[in-house]
């Protein structure tokens, strides 16, 4: 009679480590990630992680890159004009950051050597140059868009107000009589603010482009 094979543990892989670390960051923040905690979550010994990552920082860099990989870049390849492509990319980028807000401080450092982050930067720069923007201005546009999108993901305007009408005495704040209602509308307020800001930013860039190229 053959003995039944014991169930095998899932093999440790880079993807499993990154997925587990990303879930920890999403749930508890950057401070929750340590090699000891990850090893416990994965059911392995701590040293086994070093076959894939040498440091905690490398793990967080990989988590950040996995979020960058969620950003859609198809709009730069399917014939959309640069204005529409930038808008649609910004919306996709912000959606990825909204789903993983705790990793934004790592992403804000820049792409470094992260493959997905570098592909993102390359796609934006290339699309702007192909559209007729001078390379120096294309670089500035990429930086500007990152500043705007990252900033929108780092905090919430509506979330900064408390759901307590008494906090906004009209004698002190005559124009904040409805501020206590913002907290419950946080997502809607922040989404609308992002679209307003993005529209204004892109309209301004369109005017610059027309002046630079003589197009209208």
- Render pLDDT for 148-157 as a digit per residue (tens, 0 to 9): 999 999 888 8
Does any domain span residue 112? yes
Q: Residue 129's domain spans which residues?
A: 67-155
Does any domain span residue 176? no
Does any domain span residue 87? yes
- Report which of residues 101 and 216 the model is more confident about: 101
Q: How confident is the model at residue 182 (pLDDT cuts 50, 70, 90)?
A: confident
Calpha distance 150→72 (Å, rounded) = 16
For residue 24, the model assigns a pLDDT of 96
Does any domain span residue 129? yes
CATH code of the domain in which 121 resides = 1.10.357.10
Three-state DSSP class for 71?
A: coil
Going by the DSSP 8-state scheme, the letter that residue 69 receives in this structure is T
For residue 214, the model assigns a pLDDT of 74
Does any domain span residue 117? yes
Does any domain span residue 42? no
Mapped to the 3 state alphabet, what secondary structure does 160-195 carry? HCCCCHHHCCCCCCCCCCCHHHCHHHHHHHHHHHHH
Number of domains present in the structure of the chain:
1
Q: Tell me if the pTM is above 0.85.
A: yes
Does any domain span residue 182? no
pLDDT mean across residues, the chain? 91
For residue 1, the model assigns a pLDDT of 47
């Amino acid at each position: 009679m053959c003995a039944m094979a014991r169930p095998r543990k899932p093999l440790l892989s880079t993807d499993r480590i990154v997925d587990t670390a990303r879930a920890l960051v999403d749930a508890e923040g950057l401070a929750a990630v340590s090699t000891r905690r990850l090893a416990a979550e994965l059911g392995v010994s701590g040293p086994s992680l070093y076959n894939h990552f040498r440091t905690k920082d490398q793990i967080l860099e990989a988590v950040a890159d996995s979020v960058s990989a969620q950003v859609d870049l198809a709009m730069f390849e399917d014939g959309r004009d640069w204005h529409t492509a930038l808008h649609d990319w910004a919306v996709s980028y912000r959606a990825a950051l909204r789903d993983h807000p705790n990793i934004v401080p790592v992403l804000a450092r820049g792409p470094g050597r992260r493959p997905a982050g570098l592909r993102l930067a390359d796609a934006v720069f290339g699309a702007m140059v192909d559209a007729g923007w001078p390379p120096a201005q294309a670089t500035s546009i990429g930086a500007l868009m990152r500043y705007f999108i990252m900033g929108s993901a780092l905090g919430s305007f509506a979330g900064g107000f408390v759901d307590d009408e008494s906090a906004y005495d009209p004698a002190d704040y005559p124009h904040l009589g409805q501020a206590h209602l913002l907290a419950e509308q946080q997502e809607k307020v922040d989404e609308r603010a992002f679209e307003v800001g993005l529209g204004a930013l892109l309209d301004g860039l369109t005017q610059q482009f027309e002046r630079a190229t003589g197009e209208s």
